[in-house]
Amino acid sequence: MAKIRPSQGSPYARIMGVGGYRPTRVVPNEVILETIDSSDEWIRSRSGIATRHWASDEETVAMMSIEASGKAIADAGITPEQIDGVIVSTVSHFKQTPAVATEIADRIGAGKPAAFDISAGCAGFGYGLTLAKGMVVEGSARYVLVIGVERLSDLTDLEDRATAFLFGDGAGAVVVGPSQEPQIGPTVWGSEGDKSNTIMQTVPWDDYRKGTVERFPALTQEGQAVFRWAVFEMAKIAQQALDAAGITSADLDVFIPHQANMRIIDSMVKTLKLPEHVTVARDVETTGNTSAASIPLAMERLLATGQAKSGDTALVIGFGAGLVYAATVVTLP
């Protein structure tokens, strides 16, 4: 029997650069109130959201991804031609095939990398980061571009009082490359499919095509059920990620949870007993919930504003539709 040559990868992987793109249109709560019976005070108290960004017709999933990717590649100090893999996490690219990752790879000038999309909702960035780490360590790629991108305004029911104010658009990207020391910890990830109905699309695409429903599909959720799950269960997952990395909350510099809701973020901080010195991402206030894009967008803003710095140790956790989750500890680029 022939022996297969072992893979020649890197001992470890790291995030080398980060970039983000936020659509130019800023939408305050007052715009949302034109279609739902609520108030600015109620929206802020329930979610912490004051504004969000909505994409124009020109700000497509591909366009926003390309802008974010260019920044991440430049930040990593490499060229597009060096990219060996492109992973895009999104639920709002409306073409079933081909994967938008292939278009992005071509338009950034990446040559002929492996390119594919994944659908893991708000945990999508964590899933993509884990896959990229595996590619680098295994040796099938040296530099992998991981993108989280959403145009959730296309899937928002502006008459749904429970969700109309939640969602925003944007793209975040990181470059994952080789490292001589561990800078992306073990991932704690999983799913709870018995709760899949708590966050979902209102109707399947084919129901709309058949004309059995008149309204375009939108996102809907059971808010209280999701809140309880996120607050009580995801703090446990976050702690497991700390344990897997061999550190405690006192060793953290930064906490970057999925930007779903300010009350969820604050509750997780309290449950995890994070020390006061830990910087907590609260990008949701001005960006809303951008699903797979929320963690890299928040990471980019913290670094750009000086609230976090290169070399900081950060805990990142994403959670959402599925219900799925992914948490890991990383060193910031």
Residue ranges, the chain, pLDDT below 70? none
Interatomic CA distance for residues 62 and 103, integer angstroms:
7
CA proximity to 122, closest of 252, 303, 288: 288
- So what's the pLDDT on residue 203? 83
Helix (H, G, I), strand (E, B) or coil at 307: coil
Q: What is the pLDDT of residue 201?
A: 85
161-196 pLDDT, tens per residue?
999 999 999 999 999 999 999 999 999 999 999 999
Residues 6+ apart with CB under 8 A from 146: 87, 89, 125, 128, 129, 131, 132, 173, 174, 175, 176, 296
Angle at 98 between CA 58 and CA 120, to 5 degrees: 85
Q: What pLDDT score was predicted for residue 80?
A: 98
pTM of the model: 0.96
- Local structure of residue 247 (DSSP, 8 states): -
In whole angstroms, what is the distance from residue 280 CA to residue 271 CA? 14
Q: What is the pLDDT of residue 214?
A: 78
What's the pLDDT at 18? Answer: 98
Element (H, E) at 27: strand 25-28
d(CA 169, CA 182) in angstroms, rounded, equals 32
Residues that are catalytic? 122, 258, 289
Going by DSSP bridges, is the β-strand pair 12-21/169-179 parallel, antiparallel, or unpaired? antiparallel
H helix intervals, the chain: 29-32, 40-47, 61-76, 100-107, 124-138, 205-210, 223-245, 262-272, 284-287, 294-305
Angle separating helix axes 294-305 and 124-138, nearest 10 degrees: 80
Q: Check if the beta carbon of residue 191 is closer than 8 Å to that of residue 66.
A: no
Residue-wise burial string across 180-207, b where 16 or more C-beta atoms lie within 10 A, e elsewhere: eebbbbbbbbeeeeebeebbeebeeeee
The amino acid that residue 110 corresponds to is A
User: How high is the pLDDT of residue 211?
Assistant: 79
Residue whose tokens read 């029997």? 1
pLDDT at 128: 98
The per-residue pLDDT for range 57-107, each reduced to its tens digit, is 999 999 999 999 999 999 999 999 999 999 999 999 999 999 999 999 999
